[in-house]
Amino acid sequence: MTFLLKPGELSLKKGNKAIFQRILLRNLTALLAGTSAQIQSRDGRIYVNCADEAAEQAESAFSHLSGITGWARARTAEKTENAVIAACVEEARLCFEEGAKSFKFESRRTDKSFPLTSYKLNCAAGEAVLNALPNFKVNVKNPDVKICVEIRERAFIYGKEKPALRGLPVGSAGRGLLLLSGGIDSPVAGFLMLLRGLRLNAIYFHAYPYTSNEAKQKAVMLAALLRRYSINLKLFVANFASVQQRIKERAPEAWATILLRMAMMEMASMVARREKCACLVTGESLSQVASQTVENIASTQSRATLPVLRPLIGMDKESIIKKAVKIGSYPISILPYTDCCSIFSPEHPVLHSRTDEAARLYSALELDFSKIELETPAI
Digit-coded pLDDT (tens) for 288-304: 999 999 999 999 999 99
Q: Tell me if 301 sits within 8 A of 313, measured CB to CB.
A: no
Asked whether the predicted pLDDT for residue 213 surpasses 90, the reply is: no
User: Percentage of residues in the chain with pLDDT exceeding 90?
Assistant: 84
Asked whether the predicted pLDDT for residue 13 surpasses 80, the reply is: no
In this predicted model, what pLDDT tens digit does every residue of 82-101 receive, in sequence order?
999 999 999 999 999 999 99
Q: Give the mean pLDDT of 317-328.
A: 97
Asked whether the predicted pLDDT for residue 76 surpasses 70, the reply is: yes
Confidence grade of residue 321 (pLDDT, cut at 50, 70, 90): very high
Please, what is the average pLDDT of the chain? Answer: 93
Between the alpha carbon of residue 24 and those of residues 13, 85, 225, 315, 347, the distances in Å are: 13, 33, 20, 29, 48
Say what the pLDDT of residue 342 is: 64
Q: Tell me if 373 sits within 8 A of 239, measured CB to CB.
A: yes
In this predicted model, what pLDDT tens digit does every residue of 43-74 receive, in sequence order?
889 999 999 999 999 999 999 999 999 999 99
In this predicted model, what pLDDT tens digit does every residue of 191-200 receive, in sequence order?
999 999 999 9
How far is residue 373 CA from its own chain's centroid?
30
* Stated pTM of the model: 0.91
Per the document, the length of the chain is 379
In this predicted model, what pLDDT tens digit does every residue of 115-131 receive, in sequence order?
999 999 999 999 999 99
Q: Give the angle 125-3-49 at the CA atoms, nearest 5°.
A: 120
Say what the pLDDT of residue 172 is: 95
What pairing do the DSSP bridges indicate for beta strands 137-138 and 68-77? unpaired
Residue 214 gets the label, from left (phi > 0), alpha (psi -120 to 50) or beta, of alpha
Domains, the chain, in order of start with CATH, read: 2-163 (3.30.2130.30), 175-375 (3.40.50.620)
Q: Give the DSSP H/E element, type plus range, for residue 75.
A: strand 68-77
DSSP single-letter state for residue 284:
-
Residue 279 gets the label, from left (phi > 0), alpha (psi -120 to 50) or beta, of beta
Across-strand partners of 162? 71
Residue 140 to residue 161: CA distance in whole angstroms:
17
Which comes out higher in pLDDT, residue 343 or 95? 95
Residue 2 to residue 54: CA distance in whole angstroms:
11
Kindly tell me the sign of the dihedral angle through the C-alpha atoms of 60, 62, 66, 69: negative
